[in-house]
Amino acid sequence: AQSVTQLGSHVSVSEGALVLLRCNYSSSVPPYLFWYVQYPNQGLQLLLKYTTGATLVKGINGFEAEFKKSETSFHLTKPSAHMSDAAEYFCAVSEPGANSKLTFGKGITLSVRP
Amino acid sequence: NAGVMQNPRHLVRRRGQEARLRCSPMKGHSHVYWYRQLPEEGLKFMVYLQKENIIDESGMPKERFSAEFPKEGPSILRIQQVVRGDSAAYFCASSTGGTAYEQYFGPGTRLTVT
């Protein structure tokens, strides 16, 4: 069985500061890893994904994440926060294969202070 | 190319009534996934369907819930005899399938049971 842990439920940063959202996973097979963003009353939008290959993955809106197998982590970062980054962020994992359901963490709400 | 469409966006039902949630996948997508988001929780997988087939329903409650994805028309998630605990946001996602894929999410249906 797979699982995702996102420690804490809320992160607050100042505009222009580094954003770091943590994600640890558990999987019995090499996982596929994803970060999604959800704005209020909207669906989820894919920020970035890791499947195979380069472990540093760049996504939309200046976000990136690094897959670290030894730490079973896939932390999301952005060098400089913008007010528009305020949203809820979900880390998810899936097994490679035809049945590729996603297992999500509980999510982290990011607030950006002016 | 229109995205994943879900309707209705908001649905209010009294206890004991039936709820029908519809999902039209993106054009060219034949794989549909349903997820449920309860307050303060991440998304939980419910069911995975391909056209006319249920592939994985391991996340579906054993009673009152059913899903279909007919040859023609949208995918339907049906909840019979709703209870207050069914109040949640229900998201549909679609994909082209395969081992390296992306799931595209709809805006969700927010079900309120009174």
Q: Which two tokens stand for residue B2?
A: 């229109």
pLDDT at A2 over 90: no
pLDDT tens digits, residue range A80-99?
Answer: 999 999 999 999 998 876 56
Q: Which two tokens stand for residue B79?
A: 């909840």
Output the pLDDT for position A98.
54
pLDDT tens digits, residue range B84-96?
Answer: 999 999 999 998 8
- Residue B75 C-alpha, separation from nearest chain A C-alpha, in angstroms: 17
pLDDT at B82 over 60: yes
A13, A108 Cβ separation under 8 angstroms: no
A35, A45 Cβ separation under 8 angstroms: no
Q: What's the CA gap between A31 and A52, in Å, rounded?
A: 9
Closest Cβ–Cβ partner in B35, B59, B101 for A100: B101
pLDDT tens digits, residue range B44-57?
Answer: 999 999 999 999 99
- Where do we find the tokens 């989820």? A44
- Alpha helices (runs of H) in chain A, residue ranges in sequence order: none
Is residue B39 exposed (0-12), middle (13-18) or buried (19+ Cβ within 10 Å)? exposed
Q: Which two tokens stand for residue B44?
A: 């939980």
Check CB contact under 8 Å for A42 and B107.
yes
Task: For residue A102, give the chain B residue with the closest CA.
Answer: B45
Measured on CA atoms in the order A39, A58, B106, B17, is the torsion positive or negative? negative
pLDDT tens digits, residue range A32-42?
Answer: 999 999 998 78
Rounded to the nearest integer, the mean pLDDT of chain A is 92
